[in-house]
Structure 1
Amino acid sequence: MDKCLLLCVLLFSSYSHVSAHYYPSKNTLVSSVTKNAILPIFTFTLNTNEEYFIHIAGPFLVRSCNDGLPRPIIPCGSATCALTRRVSPHQCPPTQNAIINGRCACQATAFEPFQRLCNSNQYTYGDFSMSSLNPRSPSFTFNNVKYLCIPKPFLIDFPPGVLGLAGLAPTALATWNQLTPPRLGLEKKFALCLPSDTNKGAIFFGGGPYKLGNTDARSMLTYTQLIKNPRRLNNYFLRLKGIFVNGEKILLAQNAFGFDGKGDGGVTLSTVTPFTTLRSDIYKVFTEAFSKATSDIPRVNSTTPLEFCFKSTEHFQVPQIDMKFADGKIWKVIAANSMKKISDDVACLAFLNGGDAAAQAVVIGMHQMENTLLEFDVGRSAFGFSCSLGLVNASCGDFQTKP
């Protein structure tokens, strides 16, 4: 067994005997996460029964508001309104404010990533609640949470029950930041475990423990640095140094993962991109290496949008893919996350060609993140990732999401 994977298993084993009563009471906010069967999205619950889809590059909390009721006004000249302008989606035109009942009311803009729609409307505030792991306070209500009130056509293709979008970007107005007030002893971080199937996953706001059975899964996390791109404030970026296939580093230009003068490039993560997407120059070298390492496995016809597909047998084995960061930390992508099972006897490499003009060098997609605990410690600019939970006979559905 690879020494990094062995370490993950040993850490899990060493903590697994600890009683759940060992952990002190915490105010950590928590919700189950559901993989949607209609759109490639993951959702969690606010206000007891409202589902919001997880968008880690979304700067705001966005809610469908088509009831025609008046809502509180945030003044155009306020500091809050100024913050919305700093993180307006770069895909959209500048936002124009509106006059409501004789007052200048702040408007903000959201970008809907599936239909690629821009929509501006009133930026307002209200009360939101979320469940907690504290048995004495199993739910917290937060007053004056700012959100973008969007009419229903913006969300027309969303599945029934999905009311809006929970933006989790590294911004002041993001959902995680508004729901982690210091008065509750919460840290400026959130953690995700996206389920790989119909089982539930979990999302945590404010820090751990992240109880996986009797284990605090924080012990399984490896941390690397989160970096900023001043031209892409809504994205989390990682300092990737190299990609390895079967232990061999693929040969790329020295600055293949860096930013250019316009802020394009870099390596980011996405919860609206189904599969990891590589700019063409990286994709070409990567797939050549993967093809060479799998030359003994019969190929079959491609399945849109996946290009490299193989005949999957009972003892089907593919090379491991490693993403090595500048600080030497390695994110190991095992077969469950590198391959997409299409049928009983066909599996495809779950990486896409983003084209020559891709905005980012690498976008790490949802399939590669599934069944893995990921922590975004925004306060410390750190990104934590576990090994695949399948390696320790666990899944995202095993996390405790109730007091």
Structure 2
Amino acid sequence: MEKSLVVLCLLLFSAYSYVSAHNYSPKTLVSTVSKNTILPIFTFTLNKNQEFFIHIGGPYLVRKCNDGLPRPIVPCDSPVCALTRGVSPHQCPLPTNTVINGVCACQATAFEPFQRLCNSDQFTYGDLSISSLNPISPSVTVNNVYYLCIPKPFLVDFPPGVFGLAGLAPTALATWNQLTRPRLGLEKKFALCLPSDESPLNKGAIYFGGGPYKLRNIDARSMLSYTRLIRNPRKLNNYFLGLKGISVNGKRILLAPNAFDFDRNGDGGVTLSTVFPFTTLRSDIYKVFIEAFAKATSDIPRVISTTPLEFCLKSTTNFQVPRIDLELAAGVIWKVSPANAMKKVSDDVACLAFVNGGDAAAQAVVIGLHQMENTLVEFDVGRSAFGFSCSLGLVNASCGDFQTRP
């Protein structure tokens, strides 16, 4: 079964597929991922019982601090404080540092992406624990991890139990990066498998380090295909991919040659988000994409749309939708499975899980949560690579099959 699972997934890619080498460090930290039923967010556990929102666009760890206790000071003139300024959320003004007990204390800013609020307070450090697959040491404590401490109300609209925001951006102070040298010897990468919303009890996994990613009895690194991560010097907190085209039923839609390019302000491009529930396309791209999809589904009855999804179809037992391919750099194809392309909103209605971002969208394409669900994705920041598997449902597996306990 294990061999057939890998072979089937690899065959589903018509383009280049990469099999990871087996000389990675075995040191890997892992946590179970849960999908929240109130907000479209995913969380994982730190410090044994604290849930943190997975934010791949967040520059650092943000924690609620409501106990009023004094915190260690990060000096204003320190290199760490300078790093916070370089990756401060672009939506927010730079904070003003403050003086605590006669010492200039570094202040940093967090951006709450749902209410779009900025909040600044003390940048500090402390201990952090996370689980391990090592049965001898099932929990690892990491000392002096930097984080933004928010004692005043923050993430006020977040569900109870969400303690903070785990920033996983490609930055020096990101949560994953603080688990690499000199604190720990983990590789500069992390991997996610976000559970689908078929059941609120479904679980996923997040791995810090180079694996193995144990899916049943195989290492799921062998299921990954890779494309290049692109750096945008004006948007340092985001991961970008080189998208060359979008195809519907194997036919590339007709777009302007520079449709996916950055402009002189760093806008445009193709990024990934754990905030956007569905993939969002700038209007000029969305209109052409919808036209092609409508033509390919002309024999399926249309039904009334469901906000924010505009294109909905009558779903039947033998319901089949056109194949959607994202054509990435170097000929790599991300095949969007039917489960990731459509969102079932009732027993007999399914909507295309792509939305119109408007004419002034900051990015050309934002790949959202629904398209990443039940798929293993790896952010290999060390070698500027993004890895992705096929939809695990195509091989009769799910994110819940990953090993997250010793």
TM category (shorter chain) comes to over 0.9
**1:23/1:209 contact within 8 Å kept:** no
Matched, 1:289 2:292: yes
Q: Which residue of 1 aligns with 2:165?
A: 165
- 1:386 pairs, out of 380, 385, 389, with 389
> Residue by residue, what CA displacement relative to the aligned partner does 1:126-161 show, whole Å, maximum 9, x if unpaired?
000000112222111011000000134222111111
1:35-46 counterparts in 2 under 5 A? 35-46=35-46
Q: Which residue of 1 aligns with 2:360?
A: 357
- Stretches of structure 1 that go unaligned for 5 or more consecutive residues are 13-21
What is the Cα-based RMSD across aligned positions, in Å? 1.7
1:311-322 counterparts in 2 under 5 A? 311-322=314-325
> Residue by residue, what CA displacement relative to the aligned partner does 1:62-114 show, whole Å, maximum 9, x if unpaired?
00012111000000000000000000111001211011111100000010000
Task: Mark the CA change 1:285 to 1:402 in structure 2 (over 3 Å): closer, same or farther.
Answer: same
**2:6/2:223 contact within 8 Å kept:** no
Matched, 1:249 2:252: yes
**1:192/1:374 contact within 8 Å kept:** yes
Task: Mark the CA change 1:122 to 1:78 in structure 2 (over 3 Å): closer, same or farther.
Answer: same
**2:27/2:211 contact within 8 Å kept:** no
1:258-297 counterparts in 2 under 5 A? 258-297=261-300
1:125-140 counterparts in 2 under 5 A? 125-140=125-140
- Give the % identical residues: 80
> Residue by residue, what CA displacement relative to the aligned partner does 1:326-346 show, whole Å, maximum 9, x if unpaired?
210000001100100000000
**2:142/2:183 contact within 8 Å kept:** no
SS class of match (2:403)? coil
Q: Which residue of 2 aligns with 1:31?
A: 31
Cα drift, residue 368 of structure 1:
0.3
Q: Which residue of 2 aligns with 1:226?
A: 229
Question: How many residue pairs were aligned?
Answer: 390
2-structure distance, mates of 1:25, 1:364: 30
SS class of match (2:154)? helix
1-structure distance, mates of 2:74, 2:155: 23
The residue identity in structure 2 corresponding to 1:189 is K
1-structure distance, mates of 2:194, 2:230: 23
The residue identity in structure 2 corresponding to 1:59 is P
**2:283/2:359 contact within 8 Å kept:** yes
The residue identity in structure 1 corresponding to 2:275 is V
Matched, 1:194 2:194: yes
Q: Which residue of 1 aligns with 2:99?
A: 99
Cα drift, residue 183 of structure 1:
6.4
**2:107/2:120 contact within 8 Å kept:** yes
- 1:368 pairs, out of 371, 393, 398, with 371
Cα drift, residue 27 of structure 1:
2.3
- Stretches of structure 2 that go unaligned for 5 or more consecutive residues are 13-21
Cα drift, residue 7 of structure 1:
5.2
2-structure distance, mates of 1:307, 1:252: 21
Cα drift, residue 26 of structure 1:
2.9
2-structure distance, mates of 1:68, 1:92: 25
Task: Mark the CA change 1:36 to 1:230 in structure 2 (over 3 Å): closer, same or farther.
Answer: same
1-structure distance, mates of 2:196, 2:386: 21
**2:195/2:374 contact within 8 Å kept:** yes
> Residue by residue, what CA displacement relative to the aligned partner does 1:336-391 show, whole Å, maximum 9, x if unpaired?
00100000000000000000000000000000000000000000000000000001
1-structure distance, mates of 2:32, 2:214: 13
The residue identity in structure 1 corresponding to 2:75 is P
1:391-402 counterparts in 2 under 5 A? 391-402=394-405
2-structure distance, mates of 1:327, 1:26: 30
The residue identity in structure 1 corresponding to 2:268 is G
2-structure distance, mates of 1:153, 1:245: 46
Task: Mark the CA change 1:74 to 1:252 in structure 2 (over 3 Å): closer, same or farther.
Answer: same
Cα drift, residue 181 of structure 1:
3.0
The residue identity in structure 2 corresponding to 1:142 is V
1-structure distance, mates of 2:168, 2:178: 10
Length-normalised TM-score, structure 2:
0.93
1-structure distance, mates of 2:310, 2:370: 16
Task: Mark the CA change 1:25 to 1:172 in structure 2 (over 3 Å): closer, same or farther.
Answer: closer
Q: Which residue of 1 aligns with 2:66?
A: 66
Cα drift, residue 11 of structure 1:
7.5
SS class of match (1:402)? coil
SS class of match (2:221)? helix
Cα drift, residue 8 of structure 1:
4.4
